Structure formats: C-alpha cells, structure tokens
Amino acid sequence: MTPVVERITAWTAAAVLALGVPTALAAQDSTPYKNHLYDKFQGTLDFTTVINSSNARVDGNGGQGTTLDFKSVLGVPGTTVQPALGFKWKPGRHTELDLGYQFINQSGQRTFTDTVVIGSDTLSGNVDLSSKLGSNNATVQIKYSIWAAERHSIGLAVGFGAIFFRADFTGSASGCVATSCDSTGAFSISKSVTVPTASLGAFGRWRLGDRWYVGGDARGFGGRVDRYDISVFEGDAAAQYFLSTNWGLALGWYYTNVTVNISPRSGASVFSGKVAYDYSSLRLGAVYAF
C-alpha cells in the first residue's frame, strides 16, 4: 500500500468514525432551551495544553540542513499552555463558516557538543543555543450540512489555512562557519516561512438533552502546490455545555499533523527545507452564542 493510499485510508476511517457517533437521548424537562446547533454566531476563547512533537529543517546552498526536533535538539518543552480563538457564522441552516487561530509560541535552551547546519550556517563544537519558535496556525473551514435536523447536523467540510513559522536562534559556538557569526563565535539566525494548508473531510454535531452538545471533525489532504509538497491531517472531538441562552463552556481535543517539503526556488534567497508540524491539544474555554 502506497503512502498516499495509506493516508487516504486513515482519513476515510477517521471520517467514518466521526459520522458513526450515535445520537444519544437524555431526559428532558418542560423548560424551553435554545437549539445551539443553529446559532447565527458563536465565539470561543480557549486555553489549550499543547503537546508539541514538531521539527523543522532549513536547507542551504550546500544541501540539506540538520533536522531540528523542537524538544530533543532545541530544548523546547513538550507541553505548554497557549490561547486559541474561534468564530462561527451560520448564514443558513445548511451552511457554516468557521474561523480559528491557535497561538503556539515557544522557547528553548540547550548546550551541547555537536554540529548543526541551519541553512547556510554551520555551528559546531561547543554550542550554546537559544531558540524562539513561532508556529501560529490560522484555519478557515467552509461547512455544508447534508443532514440538518433538530438534534444533529452532519455534512462535509473544506478547510484552508496557513502556518506562520518563524525561528530565531542566538548563542555561541566554538566552531562557527557562517555569515551570522562574529569573531567571538556569537551568532544570530532568523528564518521564517508561511506554510499553506488545505483539507477535505466530514463533520458531525449532536444535541444531547437540552444543554449538552458533542461533535467531531476529520479532514485530510495530500498533494503539491507550487513548490510545497503537503500532507495534512486534522481532527477534533469537542463538547459544549450551555449555562444560559448565550454563555457556555467548551472542552475539546484537537490534533494537527502537517508535513511540508519546500523546494528551493532558483535565484531567490527564500526558505527551503521541511516543516513537520505535529501537535495535539486539550482545550478548555468559554463560548458565547448570539
């Protein structure tokens, strides 16, 4: 089985699993409650525990650079708390537009003896390396509900987005061969790239009782766009409990895996290499419906 077929099989299995969630019934009372499956607008603010397993490689004119695992090579903590924002607009019963922005900004510090190649810069010997990494993720989903009923909404989703990757490295190396190094071996290196993403999949959301809602998404994509060779899988499972007509609490688990190989562009000094963006997050926050 080829890697592409394996990815498509995994995406299909995840989508079928999400759509197979049974409609649960709960005891009802005589108090009328708003059906939040069809809110015109919803806004969310979440605090997320991000478990980051990402890595990146910056290639230079001399060939491939060193794969920089965020945790083991750069000393970035494996788990950090980050904010996330979300906004939903439902112009009709069947259509929905979802916007999301996950902040991921981390830093690390390591001292080691080795050789590290970052683009055209080579750091070797005794290396004291400080890293500041930004990989904020913006997403837009266009959803169409095929089955839109009073207690469930199930349909297809098309997603687009961008990862705003930036890495700033500072420190010193006893062996420093780079234009960024001074006579003492101190260096300062900055690299950045905006990685486009796209995905296609399915979603489902169910109303359980009067106040509880559960749902999930599963989306994927594999292909080449310009000089970007992209593989994407995104999935989530979430629950909401509404305290009133407008305010509620949200709890969810989200997973994003984006691998992008970026080919060099002839005659241009631009980012080339690989970004493997792999994180899961547990989200807890508030939702406001209006």
Q: What is the pLDDT of residue 164?
A: 96
- Give the number of domains in the chain: 1
Contacts of 170 (CB under 8 A, 6+ apart): 129, 130, 186, 187, 188, 189
How far is residue 175's CA from residue 184's CA, in Å, rounded to a whole number? 10
Cβ contact 189:74 at 8 Å: no
Q: What is the DSSP letter of 26?
A: -
Q: What is the pLDDT of residue 138?
A: 97
Q: What is the pLDDT of residue 8?
A: 42
The secondary element (H helix, E strand) that includes residue 276 is strand 273-289
144, 191, 220, 277 from 169: Cα distances, Å: 44, 9, 32, 19
Q: What is the pLDDT of residue 31?
A: 53
The predicted model scores a pTM of 0.84
Return the CATH number at 192.
2.40.128.90
Q: Which domain holds residue 133?
A: 3-289
Q: What is the pLDDT of residue 5?
A: 40
Extract the residue ranges of the chain whose pLDDT is less than 50.
1-30
How far is residue 108's CA from residue 114's CA, in Å, rounded to a whole number? 17
How far is residue 103's CA from residue 116's CA, in Å, rounded to a whole number? 28
Q: What is the pLDDT of residue 210?
A: 94
Write the pLDDT tens digit of every residue in 222-264. Answer: 998 888 899 999 999 999 999 999 999 999 999 999 999 999 8
Q: Taking the CB of residue 112, how many other CB atoms lie within 10 A of it?
A: 12
How far is residue 78's CA from residue 217's CA, in Å, rounded to a whole number? 25
Q: What is the pLDDT of residue 18?
A: 43
How far is residue 106's CA from residue 50's CA, in Å, rounded to a whole number? 10
Write the pLDDT tens digit of every residue in 74-90. Answer: 999 989 999 999 999 99
